[in-house]
Structure 1
Amino acid sequence: MDDQPITETGPKRGPRYRTTQKRRGWRRFVGWKAFLLYFLGLILLGVGAVVFAFATIDVPEPNDFSTSEATIVYYDDGETELGRFSAENREVLDSEAIPESLKLAVVAAEDRSFYENPGFSVSGITRAAIDQIRGTGAGGGGSTITQQYVKNYYLTQDQTWSRKLQEIVIAVKIDQDIDKDQIITNYLNTIWFGRGAYGVQTASQAYFDVNASDLDLAQSAALAAILRSPARYDPTAGDANAERFEQRFRYVLDGMVTTGAIDQQTADETDPPEVLAEQRQNRYGGPNGYLMMMVRDELRALGFEESEIETGGLRVVTSFNEQAQEAAVRAVDEERPTENAERVHIGLAALRPGDGGVVALYGGPDAVEQSFNDAVDARVQPGSTVKPFTLAAGLEEGFSLNSRFAGNSPFEAEGLGPPVNNQGNVSYGWSVDLLQSTERSINTAFVDLTRNVNSQTVMDAMVRAGIPEDSPGLEANPRVTLGIASVSALDMAEAYGTLAAQGVHTDAYTVSEVVHASGEVRYEREVEARRVFEPDVMADVTYALTQVVDSWRGTGRTVREHGFDRPAAAKTGTHQDLTSWFAGYTPQLATSVAYFRGEGAEAGTEALTGVGGMENFAGGGYPARTWTAFMNAAHEGLPVEEFPERANVNGFTQASPPRSDTGGDQWGGDQSGGNQSGGENGGDESGDENGGDESGDENGGDESGDENGGDESGDENGGDESGDENGGDESGDENGGDESGDESGGDESGGDDSGTDETGDENGDAWGDQGGNQNGGDQNGDGTDTDSAVSPSRQVHRLPLRRAA
């Protein structure tokens, strides 16, 4: 048997096997080289991409979001915040204003290698890449502080590879160009903290009600814990949040120990701080919302764009005074009537005379619930509060405070229209001087004065003082002196400010200064003062208005009764029981208060009868009390200033009327030529005017000093129970007409029940001629202007006047 020999190496293999083995080794070598080349190619491609990215990606301009900053509105001290406008509630701070404890806490929470890394972290990038591939949406979780700052300040919030590459490149460039302290400062000014707060300043205020510079270690660690996810870590948002917050708070403190910011003992001794509950506030909420609306409107009028107001970081100093504003809100709240007070609105405005700055304003209880501003938008009829401007016009035209005009009610005259009545249809004698007419608000005398100086002249005086020329109802009409034009409380405060400044008018304003956050002054108020009345005229007007307050018969004596003891000048106003006003001033402050019902077109169209339990809701009641409460509080801490002395403009300009045929005294006394004491208007021996009683009450007033027998509640002039103006009867007839509807209390045939003679001449034709024409007008229609004619019994010696420019 032929057996094959066996060698040491085993059976021999054929040629085919050797060829296959060699071929497999070659393939292994070629595959390894290809992989190496492929890998090196990727590296080169990546390096090339990075080089290309660094060459082509520049640091862009900051995005609008990151640079937006809240506009902060301050009271007149420039420090106390009134409110703010913002798309993002942010206030940018310098590095020095951010405590070191907060910077170190944020580093411990967000990026413990911040001070060493070049702007990015390899581990962070890897983590972000894995998250992106998995689709978890958490790609930014491992970003460094520099990367987060770049994303917030320069880029968008998109989660894409291209945006991530941009973020890394810009982060590296930023890290090379800006020091670490500036980077973390910028980061802390842009990061979102929840509660509408962007940046540490607004966050500090939102969570702890302190400025960022006042944060302690615990508060700093708390903010660092919250910023990771405010919705999850705000401890006031539920028990689960509170538990997560405490764990995160400890994590931050441990990180501060790790980075060497604090020692372990300090960490152990630091407890979580008390975090305030979130206060959700509307910028226009509450009474001060009306102030913010006015400031915004004025900024627009000054040329500031809406975008700049919302995001421009403006610092607006206003004219509003915190003490005065709080006094205004408190006065309205405390003095507001409660009985039958549905739909009652109150407007209050106060400004500085000679300057025009509005120091306080009450436009309603809440500007969010009621956008209608009761002190600005409500234009209602002011009643007798406009009489001081008629008085000023009369003094300019040659009359004096001693000049005498019709005091009896009703008052009729050619071209006047329906008769004019005094409140309560009270008569004060057929002639009464302007001083008494002012303090007692005698309608007939002021209409008579208006007819003598010309109603256009009176209207001009109102406009010069500050009543808007476009006020509804402002027209050349003798009744313009009764307050038929509709104005706002702010309009009236501006006009009374002219009286308080002794004839110098300044427009009302609310914005004093606007400064950009950078320090650039964008606007500074320059007061434009114009003299519109002469000082001596104003001195006499002011004197007359002080008697409204100081005289026992003045319609504004409530001011003294409620404890305001500074020099004050004021005037009441009531219009057909639809509106009720009190306006007045000291040398430092001019204030007006208006009560009415309704808003918008309905303002001042619904009667105030019965409000506060008062049949006649007069200006000397609740409006005067509100004014007094405000002025008392607003003047606290201010020095007492005096008014100028009475000037006695034009002296005694009243000429004596002709004596009566019966030989009575000069003003209609008895046949013996008047009583021995010289009593005016036929007074008794004690000298009481108009036949007052022994206590000195004029016109038979009661012992309490209530004017004209008015009741103790302060009802002006004792109006009737129906609330009809001027003492209308129960049927609602104005002016005390009888049941048949005849005005002026005349009988059905037009007879003389009201004291007129058979021809219809009022008061026995005391000033008219025998033909029945009052004020000297003739019957022949000779063209005499009934609005400006002066009766023979009241001719005046007109003095040269220094007219205002």
Structure 2
Amino acid sequence: MAVMIIVPLVAFFTAYSVTKVPEPEELVNNQISYIMASDNNTELARIVPPEGNRQNVKLDEVPMSVRQAVLAAEDREFYSNPGFSVSGFARAAVGQVLGREGAGGGSTITQQYVKNALVGDEFSLSRKAKELVISAKMAREWSKDEILEAYLNTIYFGRNSYGISAAAHAYFDKDVKDLTPEEGAVLAATIQAPSSLDPWTNRERAESRWNYVLDGMVGINAMKESDRRKAVYPKVKDPAETAENTQAVGTNGLIKTKVIEELEQAGITEEQVNTGGLKITTTIDPKMQADAVDEIHKKMEGQQQGLRTAVASVDPKTGGVRAWYGGDDPVGFDFAGAGLQSGSTFKIFTLAAYLDQGGSLYDQFDSSPVMTGDAQVNNDGGASCGTCSIAEALKQSLNTSFIRLTQALKGGPQDVADMAHRLGVAESLPGVGKTLQEKNGKPADGITLGMYQSSPLDMATALATLSNGGTYHRPHFVQKVENSNGDVLLDNTKDEGDRVVSEEVANGVIQAMQPIAAYSNGNSLAGGRPSAAKTGTAQLGDTGENKDAWMLGSTPQLSTAVWVGTAEGKPIHNSYGGIMYGSGLPAQIWKGVMDRSLENTEIEQFNTGAAASSGYTGGYAGGGNAGGAAGAGQPEEQEQESPAPASPASPPSPAPAPAPRQPAPQGGNRPPNNDLQNLLDGILNP
């Protein structure tokens, strides 16, 4: 028994004698994380740790009622105890021996301060013993007011707020000196469990704890019983309105969000980013980014009110995202990563699947009206090339030829979906779920017309894969992550890529796409720079209006997807009121972004010498010369349209956010009880 008493006492006093208690200001470690452009010099965003927004306040700046609320909540004997609780330590020791992680409790304010500021919250007997030693010594070296002041300036109150001053702004958007007793009790109540006791998300439990605090204030004579009876639970602010730990403007805020998501997928938590002083080097090219945003703003001037656009540029040789624009609201809806109906841009995947099965660009396809199930598909305005090569049909964006091509594939529309996924189109998207399929898990023939949803990033990535000779690189925003010591936590610079289709197939699609930029209202790139492009639109039901317009195009150095539409899926018009097509504003934005992004860079040529050209004798090939209805410049009205999806998804709209996109209206003269005909009839025939 003597040994059991003497040994712990000797250990305690030995530790006590050698332990140094630091000053409060020595305990704060404010390390800002920086999100940098690829030049490592241009700052895109910075993430200030919550402690970095902490403002030390003197104890006399904190209203007495607020201090007393904290004492009532956490340590009602604070001014009389020796800085530690022997009973609390005993409970923790027994819990450690019995393996009860929830054991413990009864920690004094001094112990809480020591735990949070010095020893951490690891569940171990040695850590608890260290906490006890430091708390005992601190209680002798510091005054009670000094301990309480340090505690109030460092304790976590939730909402990324460390310290009473930050908490006052986070919950009530006011200075701490202006807090009422009821508001002080709200803050004191959160200390026990900040996340689960936030009244914005758990009002019932938060108010129960608040009542406990007020009752405790009465118990320690800090509040009159009459005032307690009159107390009303105060209104707190929406946490989204008071969040200030991220500093980013415009679309850089959306880039920051994509970076955080990518880091989490790599095992680097948001807590590490928020507090670890990381240096995050992104793939964003600062000049390309600045030029893209400037070009978008210029091109959007004078356009239809409520019109939105998204731009994603990807390096085909690395997968790095070089420029990104999903909107100007740093915390708003990001259209560049959203699921959007892709229109005729999707025809390139049908062509890739066909070439992958041995087809040729020169194989002939009939462009007359065609049946898919019980529905008839036509070309906009009755356009036709008669029977022409599939390359010519792609240039003219003839729906009927590509429905026949889809039907000629060994696996039908599933082959189109599989090819799109191979090249880089995501298999699932937020707000959409699994992509490129009906509820039965299979796609319809209309997949080739872009009836399903994909994101601008997906489309830019897939074209980047084709532009890179069929080698896929995972799209990414982060090049490298280093901690405050210079240690590399993540390095994405050594990705060698994966070959997903043959070089012949990839080059064949690129060859077919090369005439399209010039064919689409003369949107060739400056200086004769070659490009591979495809326009696309999605019509709004049988209204004769379009709701989505695309331009997708690349060079060997850069692949860029441009989408134009509205948040609600409303009709879109050009600046003079006409129906908008991909060959209009989207193509103009694409050309401007590409020209400025590639200015003063080498003009590289596509390697289309290995393009697929083998013969194919599939079901819809036929004789005749390629050409037909080709013209020097395709008018906007001739661009082919895609049907609305059967079950369009509304993008998630965090507040404040644009209204969700509505399902495209469908109607017109159609036979009853024919879903497929209802889907297509009146959409392809305005």
TM-score, with length taken from structure 1 = 0.51
Distance in 2, matches of 1:567 and 1:717, equals 24
Q: Is the 8 A contact 2:49 2:245 kept in 1?
A: no
Is 1:574 aligned to residue 542 of structure 2?
no
Counterpart amino acid of 2:382?
Answer: N
What's the CA shift for 1:342?
Answer: 2.2
Output one character per residue of 1:670-721: Cα deviation in whole Å (capped at 9) or x when no partner: xxxxxxxxxx59xxxxxxx64xxxxxxx47x6xxx443xx3xxxx141789x
- 1:587 aligns to 2:587 (yes or no): no
Structure 2 residue aligned with 1:404: 364
Equivalent pair of 1:402/1:654 in contact (CA under 8 Å): no
**1:655 Cα offset (Å):** 9.1
Aligned to 1:419: 376
Question: How far apart are 1:165 and its partner, in Å?
Answer: 7.5
Deviation at 1:423, TM superposition (A): 2.5
**How far apart are residue 298 of structure 1 and its match?**
1.5
Unmatched segments (≥5 aa) in structure 2: 1-12, 59-116, 120-134, 144-153, 155-243, 429-433, 540-545, 645-663, 675-684
Q: Pairwise mapping of residues 276-291 of structure 1 onto structure 2 (< 5 A)?
A: 283-291=247-255
Summarize the alignment of residues 385-534 of structure 1 with structure 2, pairs less than 5 Å apart: 385-408=345-368, 411-413=369-371, 415-429=372-386, 431-453=387-409, 454-470=412-428, 471-474=434-437, 475-525=442-492, 526-527=494-495, 529-534=497-502
User: What's the CA shift for 1:67?
Assistant: 2.1
Task: Give the Cα separation in 2 of the matches to 1:637 and 1:517.
Answer: 36
Question: Secondary structure at 1:436's aligned position in 2?
Answer: helix
- Mapped partners of 1:61, 1:502: distance in 2: 62
Distance 1:84 1:648, change over 3 A: closer
String of CA shifts for 1:537-583, please: whole Å, max 9, x gaps. Answer: 11111111101124xxx23x5322x7363111110010111110011
| Letter of the structure 2 residue corresponding to residue 333 of structure 1 | H
Q: What is the one-letter code of the residue matched to 1:417?
A: D
Cα 1:426/1:513, change in 2 over 3 Å: same
Distance 1:534 1:658 in 2: 23
| Cα distance change, pair 650–518 in 1 and its aligned pair in 2 (3 A) | same
User: Quick check: 58-67 or 349-358, which moved more?
Assistant: 58-67
Match of 1:717 among 618, 638, 653: 638
1:367 aligns with 2:288: no
- Extract unaligned runs of 5+ from structure 1: 1-50, 92-127, 129-152, 169-189, 191-279, 660-665, 668-679, 682-688, 691-697, 726-731, 744-753, 755-805
Show the counterpart of 2:317.
354
Aligned to 2:49: 87
1:329 to 1:90, Cα distance in 2 relative to 1, 3 A: same
Instruction: For 2:399, give the aligned amino acid.
Output: N
- The answer to whether the 8 A contact 2:370-2:403 is kept is no
Corresponding letter in the other structure for 2:416: V
Aligned residues: 456
**1:261 counterpart residue number:** none
Q: Paired residue for 1:312, among 237, 255, 276?
A: 276
Are 1:569 and 1:584, in contact at CA under 8 Å, matched by a contact in 2? Answer: yes
Judged with a 3 Å threshold, the aligned counterparts in structure 2 of structure 1 residues 363 and 564 are, in CA distance, closer, same or farther, namely farther
2:292 match:
328
For the residues of structure 1 that align with 2:621 and 2:35, how far apart are their CA atoms?
66
CA distance in 2, matches of 1:531, 1:334: 38
- Cα displacement (A) at 1:386: 1.1
Q: Please list the CA deviations of residues 468-503 of structure 1 after superposition, one character each: whole Å capped at 9, or x if unmatched.
A: 223444343221110111011111111111111110
Distance 1:89 1:588, change over 3 A: farther
For 1:342 and 1:281, the matched residues in 2 are separated by: 32
Deviations 1:739-780 (A, max 9, x none): 999x9xxxxxxxxxx9xxxxxxxxxxxxxxxxxxxxxxxxxx
Once residues 29 and 619 of structure 2 are traced to their aligned partners in structure 1, the CA distance between those partners, rounded to angstroms, is: 78
Tell me if structure 1 keeps the 8 A contact 2:309–2:562: yes
Instruction: Please say if residues 323 and 634 of structure 1, whose CA atoms lie closer than 8 Å, have aligned partners that are also in contact.
Output: yes
**Alpha-carbon distance, 1:352 to partner:** 0.9
1:558–1:624 Cα contact (<8 Å) kept: no
**Superposed, which structure 2 residues align to 1:266-285 within 5 Å?**
283-285=247-249
The CA RMSD over aligned residues, in Å, is 4.2
Deviation, 1:64, is 8.9
Q: Are the equivalent residues in 2 in contact too, given 1:70–1:88 (CA < 8 A)?
A: no
The letter of the residue matching 1:447 is: I
| Mapping 1:703-714, distance limit 5 Å | 705-707=632-634, 710=635
CA separation of 1:734/1:522 partners in 2, compared to 1, >3 Å: closer, same or farther?
A: closer
Cα deviation per residue 1:417-469 (whole Å; 9 max; x = unaligned)?
Answer: 3211223231221x111111111111111111110012221221111011122
Residue 67 of structure 1 aligns to a residue whose secondary structure is: coil
CA-CA distance at 1:79 after TM superposition: 2.9
CA shift in 2, pair 1:490/1:655, >3 Å: closer
1:464 and 1:656 map into 2 onto residues whose CA distance is: 25
Paired residue for 1:294? 258
Kept after mapping to 1: 8 A contact 2:436/2:443: no
Counterpart CA distance in 1 for 2:264 and 2:276 is 13
Partners of 2:268 and 2:21 in 1: how far apart? 30
Shift in Å, 1:521: 1.4
Tell me what 1:253 maps to: none
Identity %: 28
SS at match of 1:308: helix
SS of the residue 2:579 aligns to: coil
**Where do 1:225-244 residues align within 5 Å?**
none
The separation in 2 between residues aligned to 1:87 and 1:733, in whole angstroms, is: 47
Q: 2:30 aligns with which of 40, 64, 68?
A: 68
3-state DSSP of counterpart to 1:523 = strand
- Quote the Cα distance in structure 1 between the aligned partners of 2:38 and 2:565: 30
Residue among 499, 513, 528 paired with 1:545: 513
In the alignment, is the contact (CA less than 8 A) between 1:61 and 1:154 conserved in 2? no
Counterpart code for 2:44: L
Corresponding residue for 1:641? 604
Deviates more, 1:383-392 or 1:611-620: 611-620
**Separation of aligned partners in 1, 2:670 and 2:462:** 41
Residues 96-128 of structure 1 deviation map (CA, whole Å, 9 limit, x = unaligned): xxxxxxxxxxxxxxxxxxxxxxxxxxxxxxxx9
Q: Are 1:651 and 2:614 matched, yes or no?
A: yes
Give the direction of change, closer, same or farther, for the CA distance of 1:78–1:436 in structure 2 (3 Å limit): same
Q: Kindly tell me: are residues 64 and 83 of structure 1, through their superposed partners in 2, closer, same or farther at Cα, counting changes over 3 Å?
A: farther
Asked if the contact 1:568/1:585 (under 8 Å) is kept, the reply is yes
